[in-house]
Chains A and B, each alone.
Chain A
Amino acid sequence: MSEKSNCCNTTDDCCRECAVKTVGSSLSLSDVLGAWKVRWGIGRMDYSVAPGLYALGEPDNSSPVFVSANYKLTFDTLRKNLDGLNCWLLILDTNGINVWCAAGKGTFGTDELIHRIEASELSKFVSHKKLVLPQLGAPGISAHEVKRHSGFDVNYGPVRASDIKEYVNAGYKTTKEMRTVQFSLWDRLVLTPMELIPALKCSLPIFGVMLIANQFAATPFDKTDIVAHAGAVAAGTVLTPALLPYIPGKAFSIKGWLLGLGCTASILGLSGKLKKESRLLSAGYLLLFPAISAFLAMNFTGASTYTSPSGVKREVERALPLIVAAGAAGAALTLGAHLFRRGRAAR
């Protein structure tokens, strides 16, 4: 980010100038690398820009004001999409969290917006009373309250920053398409690393249990068991999000369970582990692994853009007891078969 402080040393309006930061619309290599690191959870916290008023291009007192969050990825996406436009960016302090999450928490909210309008002395920079907010900020903002306290009109722009130019060119009007949240394959895929990595970290103790059990086991766990577990994790955290609208069922846990079942059956079937003579073990595998996928898939509701809390509550109420029961029974059978049944458990 090329954030140069425009601070002069002599003139009287030094302070006024300093209150505004100027910023360009092109992203540097470090911006791009930073975004990649955030997605993969490397130093993900604290990726923020300073709140306040920014000048993009050479705005004057009639230039539009776009309001956004101080999460750096949001900020970067916004300025990239505003390329070529002279405008003001009013950045709220959302603790470095994106607009959508911050609106849900209320940090991208009515009070902060009113405060930021005053603190940045916005009305000294523009002569109009019009703010453009991302529509996804609406769950935190009450437009008529903002108007009442600050005099500024809140206009909700498009959901996606990439539609902003079109919105501006259309005279600040959104189409229904621009107002609707999509959850495209790409939207879903960029979220999967943050599902997969924590799930793999949580798997380490499971591998530890296998290792310890192998000291006593009649039939040791082998690499197929590890692959089957990894497959179940991937089915829940990557495949389910990727194929979300195409998998039968509405509940995420059902979708995850189906893919987990497919994954487990293929991996163990191909490796010859699902054998008639070890029915208990096969049952154990088929109870345990799909339950893991179902649980992980259910957690993806938190990242999705269309699940209601009432719906998720119902899903958790119904699915979680089944998942826990299947997982526990499956784990007991799998572990028991490996510990006590010589030769028949594995190949």
Chain B
Amino acid sequence: MKHRYLNGVTTLEYNIDKCVGCGKCTEVCPHGVFEMALGAKASVFQRDSCMECGACALNCPTGSIEVDAGVGCAAAITLGWLRGKEPSCGCGGSECC
């Protein structure tokens, strides 16, 4: 069964004009957000599946993608507020937080 989280929240921005169609974004996205369209450019296919990991933006050679990447972790965000700092994940070992 497919997991879905809140809709309409991602900060993903894609500028199709800069895309050279290398396909790297489709390769790195863990949630199939990008697809290669027939016109040999990438297109955003499932925007609401984006978890803002930042892989696409970092690996796009032409800088066509921007996203405000970070940790999707309630404890980190709450602690970040309490301490008045950017949320950071206390990865102790196998998984975040």
Contact = CB atoms under 8 A, between A and B. Distances in A.
A201 interface: no
Contact of B28 (A96, A105, A156, A312): A156
A183 interface: yes
A103 B92 CA distance: 14
Interface in A303-347: 303-316, 320
A303 B10 contact: no
A303 B96 CA distance: 6
Contacts of A100: 95-96
Contacts of B6: 250-251, 308, 311, 314-315
Interface residues of B, number: 49
Given A101-B91, A156-B27, A312-B72, A138 B55 contact: yes
Given A105-B89, A311-B72, A39 B94 contact: yes
Contacts of B53: 103-104, 138-139
Interface string B1-21: 111111101110000000000
A139 B54 contact: yes
Interface in B38-84: 49-55, 58-59, 61, 68-78
A71 interface: yes
Interface string A127-142: 0000000011011111
Contacts of B72: 301-302, 304, 306-309, 311-312
A44 interface: yes
Contacts of A138: 28, 53, 55, 58-59
Main secondary structure of the interface of A (DSSP, over half): helix
B29 A179 contact: yes
Nearest to B22: A144
A138 B55 CA distance: 5
Nearest to B3: A306
Nearest to B28: A138
B52 A98 contact: no
A179 B32 contact: yes
A302 B89 contact: yes
A311 B9 contact: yes
Interface residues of A, number: 60
A312 B77 contact: yes
Contact of B51 (A39, A252, A306): A306
Contact of B70 (A142, A143, A309, A316): A309
Main secondary structure of the interface of B (DSSP, over half): loop
A198 to B, nearest CB: 10
B56 to A, nearest CB: 8
A73 B91 CA distance: 15
Nearest to A174: B27
A91 interface: no
A320 B81 CA distance: 12
B89 A104 contact: yes
Given A71-B94, A245-B3, A309-B52, A139 B9 contact: no
B41 to A, nearest CB: 18
B97 interface: yes
Contacts of A50: none
A301 B50 contact: no
B65 to A, nearest CB: 12
A43 to B, nearest CB: 10
A274 interface: no
A304 B28 contact: no
25 contacts: A71-B93, A96-B93, A100-B95, A103-B55, A104-B89, A138-B28, A139-B53, A139-B55, A143-B24, A143-B59, A144-B61, A156-B28, A179-B30, A183-B3, A191-B95, A302-B75, A303-B96, A306-B3, A307-B5, A308-B72, A309-B69, A310-B11, A311-B72, A312-B73, A312-B74
Given A98-B91, A98-B94, A307-B51, 18 more contacts: A71-B94, A100-B96, A102-B91, A103-B55, A105-B91, A144-B59, A179-B30, A180-B31, A183-B3, A194-B95, A299-B75, A301-B73, A302-B72, A302-B74, A302-B89, A310-B11, A312-B77, A320-B78
